[in-house]
Amino acid sequence: MTLQPCRLPKNAIPSRAGVGLKPKHYHAILETSPDIGFFEVHAENYMGAGGPPHRYLSKIRDRYPLSLHGVGLSIGAARPLDRDHLARLKRLVEAYQPALFSEHLAWSTHDATYLNDLLPVPYTAEALARVADHIDEVQETIGRQMLLENPSTYLAFAESTYSEIDFIAEIVRLTGCGLLLDVNNVYVASTNHQWELVRYIADFPLAHVQEIHLAGYKREADDKGRPLLIDAHDRAVDEIVWGLFEQAIGLLGPMPTLVEWDAEVPAWAALKAEAEQAEAIMLTAGEKGRRRAAAG
């Protein structure tokens, strides 16, 4: 695959809201040049050799900052990283110069099989060493820092010896990676595992967070009738997630915030409205912070 570097120089993503770039919105974006902070794309969707996806992405990248989000590296797998996949990722980073690159704390491969899911990692010393080695390899290959996203999980491992927050904090200490705080994942996992929701965000290694994700979830029930939330990305952000986002912004201050909507993708106006709501919350939280600072 030969990609031509974009003309827009590498630049930081502003502390604004962005959205995931979807093919059905290419034309609306290019025709209207909406006031959006940035766009984020899944790396694996642009690993093919040229064609319309790259033509549209190049045009949009010339106008907007870009964040690259991986879903297929399988950072937590008990096997070496796929060197071909890493090489394709490196070419994408060099071509589009995203301001941020992120991946999941999860695994999705077994032997030569790629699974269409992001599966949980046991929080053990062995898994910690493996994940840290993989992150080191990714950062060395692409020549930049990677952000690690907290997972949405539906089960816990009996052999885990770390809490999720302690495990993530130790990864940061060992690798120097940054963090992506997915607020919807916090709510999904906290509900599924009956964790104390407010404490999760307060105890998270917030000093290392460089991006936030927001998304919609689906509510189901387990075999005992207890709530089971699914990180569906197929609907609007829930009110309780907006509330958690406001809490996070109150602690972090405004920062790049992505609205994810990957299935049942709505019309452009609906997705843009979600980004506008995120920006309104950041503006309100910023004003409250300034008033507290002035009063203190």
Look up residue 138 and give its two tokens: 């990714």
At residue 292, the pLDDT reads 65
Contact present, 223 and 213 (Cβ < 8 Å): no
**Choices 1.10.10.60, 3.40.50.200, 3.20.20.150, 1.10.3720.10: CATH for 17-295:** 3.20.20.150
CA distance linking residue 176 with residue 185, whole number of Å: 22
Question: What is the rounded average pLDDT for all residues in the chain?
Answer: 90
Q: Is the pLDDT of residue 111 over 80?
A: no
CA distance linking residue 20 with residue 251, whole number of Å: 25
At residue 7, the pLDDT reads 42
At residue 9, the pLDDT reads 42
Contact present, 131 and 79 (Cβ < 8 Å): no
Better pLDDT: 189 or 155 = 189
At residue 221, the pLDDT reads 87
Tens of pLDDT, residue by residue over 41-65, are 999 999 987 789 999 999 999 999 9
Tens of pLDDT, residue by residue over 204-257, are 999 999 999 999 999 998 877 888 899 999 999 999 999 999 999 999 999 999
At residue 115, the pLDDT reads 47
At residue 48, the pLDDT reads 84
Q: Is the pLDDT of residue 2 over 50?
A: no
What is the residue whose two structure tokens read 């959205």?
19
Tens of pLDDT, residue by residue over 12-41, are 899 999 999 999 999 999 999 999 999 999
Residue 49 makes CB contacts below 8 A (sequence gap 6+) with 1, 2
Residue 55 makes CB contacts below 8 A (sequence gap 6+) with none
In angstroms, the Cα distances linking 225 to 61, 187, 234 are 46, 18, 23
Query: What's this model's pTM, rounded to 2 decimal places?
Result: 0.91
CA distance linking residue 216 with residue 32, whole number of Å: 26
Better pLDDT: 222 or 167 = 167
Q: Is the pLDDT of residue 153 over 80?
A: yes
At residue 5, the pLDDT reads 39
**Which residues does residue 149 pair with via DSSP β-bridges, in sequence order?**
104, 180
At residue 210, the pLDDT reads 97
In angstroms, the Cα distances linking 228 to 114, 157, 185, 221, 289 are 25, 17, 13, 5, 35
Q: Average the pLDDT over 109-117 and give the result.
A: 54
CA distance linking residue 126 with residue 78, whole number of Å: 10
Tens of pLDDT, residue by residue over 221-233, are 887 788 889 999 9
- Read off the amino acid at residue 191: T
At residue 296, the pLDDT reads 61
